[in-house]
Chains A and B, each alone.
Chain A
Amino acid sequence: MATEMSVRKYITANEAVAQAARLARVDVVAAYPITPQTSIVEKIAKYIADGEMDADYIKVESEHSALTACMGVRMAGARAFTSTSSQGLEYMHEMLAYAAGGRYPLVLVNVCRSVALPWSIWGDQQDAIQQRDTGWIQIFTETGQEALDMVLQAYRIAEDHRVLLPVMICLDSFIQSHTEELVQVPDQKTVDSFLPRYDPVVTLDVDNPYSISVGGFGKHYARWREEQQTAAEKAGEIILEVGDEFARIFGRHYGGLIEEYRCDGAEAVLVAMGAFTGTAREVVDEMRDEGKNVGLVKVRAFRPFPVEPLRKVISPVKAAAVLDRDCSWGYEGALATDMKAALYGLPNPPAILNFIGGLGGADVPPERMKYMLEKALAADRGTTPHLEFIDR
């Protein structure tokens, strides 16, 4: 019954995301085009034009206004959708923090792309990583299917009254955005049973007037921020809860905040986010066939950061090779830093080897992943930190 009238289609992740916005019964879409996100908003505009989707499209003049308009839609008690990439996400920066601090349950799809300068329309995850501390829940996906499924789940997570935080679903440019793969597009009735209508906590209600999104001095400000942190931590539980329910209804499960792939008995693991984890699975299989004890840890939720699951899976290994498609210039990859912090306090912790690669659309082919894992296999616990740029 779960899949009646649902269809399997060869579509890009961008189209899968557009389908998800339609299925989520979004009321208003406000978005501004940028490569490689563009086809998401073009598809949505077409669904609306063809009467396949009952929504309004606000043709905003910028990403700053796109996100602001989505906040406005939420204030009126309706459901909004936006999507962007790279320079667009950066242009939104002020409003990203505004939306999270104001506890707006928004959903944004970011097609991860490099940021200028140097100018590049190609992929890495620098854009999303640079927004890490704005307060958004950030989930990285591997496939078009996962992107579609996570957009549906994102509305449940964001709108959950225990969370009320915006959710950013990240997918990788071109590898996902422009590559067709077989995607199961669920039917509306089943989606409706999973994702009910938006039930807002507070709106601009003329019969019950509130000041929403106000200012606060010292102790109030601090208290709201603490509540925000509590909600962001709570989101971890809710992501699991929603993921389990999704699996019961749709039969697809992605493993929670992280996914462990062949980590049992592993001496070394590769840790990565996004579409590269697809290649990494094959590398792990090959190396296992060669008798090497390696595994893959796919980090799905970057915020809230999955400290406990990571400690559990990483503590038994000798070393972890962490692949970052980003860099915190002057330090190291952001995922590596967070990994190390998560392991803090463990006696004789595993070595963390940080590899920065896949920048500006560079591929990280299987040989290079193998290279990283071999290096990790050769490293001992407690080895001093290692940072290496691998795009050559």
Chain B
Amino acid sequence: MKLKDIAKEEFYRASYGCAGCAAVLMVRLTIKALGKNSVYVVPANCISTVSCYYPQAPFFVPFTVMAFAATAAALSGISAGFRRRGREDIHVVGLSGDGGTADIGIQALSGAIDCGNKFIYICYDNEAYMNTGIQRSGLTPYGAATSTTPSPCFENRPKKDMMRIVAAHDIPYAATACTSYPLDYMEKVVKASQVNGPTYIHILAPCPTGWGFPPDETIEIGRMAVESGMWHLTEFENGEFRTTYTPKRQRPVSEYLATQTRFRHLSPEQIAAIQKEIDAARD
């Protein structure tokens, strides 16, 4: 995919999202990748909150809100319904946050992957429950302060590894992405849409409001996440993981952590410990 191939047409516009919101960017990129022949299920999260209030209608494709825990089950049902009506050509897509995916919705996600219906489940990961005011989730990284893990007692557990969890289901296709690498993401979305079964894409979506950085730095922060080794761009296919992008330069994690107020309480020792983990994972 080339930049010039990306649809000029906008299918998602005029949401109430914060300035610099990567989750909003994720929605735009997703629909551009899949085109009009796609329908969207959005559970309780930032995206539904900034998009669903009648008579507001930012989605120019069919869309429904859904209960927080229920995204994957809804995708499964819609997919089965379309199959019964001979409309397997329609892409059935879920846009769920990290909380809706790794916490309350993980049971339904597991069940739906297990059922095998065709859908694309997208987890946009802003690393906390942002919609309800920045509470920690199972995907909040070690060291981050949130409103339920306030400093000095920050989040003391590592981020759940959702890729390994979905891979353990023998899912036909899964990938990670980041909004700062739009072509990589959109290629993965298109690839997922060509799979006849459940697929999962986990996209890191920096949140200026929740992470504490200026809204014009969203893209840079996402790049720093990948370049520091805090996040990786990968794929899982045919039972194997592979890296789809290796950053040309590697940055120390301290640079990434220093950009965001959620990490500002960390001591040099704690930062060194995080760096050590990253180095160990690289080897």
**A interface with B by C-beta (< 8 Å):** 27-28, 30, 56, 58-62, 64-66, 68-78, 80, 94-95, 98, 203-206, 209-217, 220
Contact = CB atoms under 8 A, between A and B. Distances in A.
Interface residues of B, number: 47
Contacts of B190: none
Nearest to B53: A215
Nearest to B11: A209
Looking at chain A's contact residues, the main secondary structure is mixed
A41 B179 CA distance: 44
A75 B64 contact: yes
Contact of B81 (A59, A74, A217): A74
Nearest to B58: A211
A69 B63 CA distance: 16
Interface string B44-72: 00001100111101011111111101101
Contact of A61 (B54, B85, B110): B110
A68 B107 CA distance: 13
A216 B53 contact: yes
Nearest to A221: B54
A64 B69 contact: yes
Nearest to A66: B73
Q: Which 10 A-B pairs have the closest CB atoms?
A: A72-B77, A76-B81, A61-B111, A69-B77, A65-B73, A68-B73, A204-B62, A72-B78, A73-B81, A78-B81
A288 B112 CA distance: 57
B67 A95 contact: yes
Given A62-B108, A80-B77, A214-B52, A68 B39 contact: no
Interface of B: 36-39, 41, 48-49, 52-55, 57, 59-67, 69-70, 72-85, 87, 90, 107-108, 110-112, 114-115, 117
Contact of B62 (A71, A206, A220): A206
B81 A58 contact: no
B78 A204 contact: yes
A149 B221 CA distance: 62
B67 A206 contact: no
B64 A211 contact: yes
B64 A58 contact: no
Nearest to A54: B84
B80 A69 contact: yes
A30 B77 contact: yes
B95 to A, nearest CB: 13
Nearest to A208: B62
A341 to B, nearest CB: 31
